[in-house]
Amino acid sequence: MATVFEDMMTGLDEVESFLAGKKAGYKVSVPAEVDVKVIRKKLNMTQARFSGTFGFSLDAVKHWEGGRRTPEASARAFLTVIARNPNAVITALHPARTRTAALKRSRSTSTRSNKNSR
């Protein structure tokens, strides 16, 4: 089994080859297993909210968590991104919701500022 350093060096060699035009593609390492329930619980979401927020079917989430199905490679990659940076995914998938939340925060901040200045 390769060490973390060896994995990093291999990755850097692949990037260097790609940038030099020696390699035509880029290979992504997708985890073989992803614990959907742990990711969802960490976000304090119900199965319904998790599926709705990130675009999965509710049945898929239930089956993944119940061990009846395994997420495909693309879903595992997406779930890995969700686990590492859920806010980036939410911002990308729900820009209107993110803008609305930002507006509410700025309004509440300006309202507090106005009250404090009186």
Q: What is the pLDDT of residues 17-39, one digit of tens each?
A: 777 777 666 667 889 999 999 99
Angle at CA of residue 71, ends 69 and 95, nearest 5°: 130
Domain boundaries, given as residue ranges, for the chain: 1-28, 31-96
Full DSSP string of 23-66: -S-------S---HHHHHHHTT--HHHHHHHHT--HHHHHHHHH
pLDDT, tens only, 35-84: 999 999 999 999 999 999 999 999 999 999 999 999 999 999 999 999 99
Per-residue model confidence (pLDDT) at position 80: 95
Q: How confident is the model at residue 88 (pLDDT cuts 50, 70, 90)?
A: very high
Angle at CA of residue 52, ends 32 and 47, nearest 5°: 65
From residue 94, give the alpha-carbon distance in Å to each of 57, 59, 86, 89, 108: 17, 22, 12, 8, 21
Stronger pLDDT, 116 or 11, i.e. the higher one: 11
Whole-angstrom distance, CA of residue 37 vs CA of residue 65: 6
Note the pTM of the prediction, 2 decimals.
0.63
The CATH number of the domain covering residues in 31-96: 1.10.260.40
Stronger pLDDT, 31 or 118, i.e. the higher one: 31
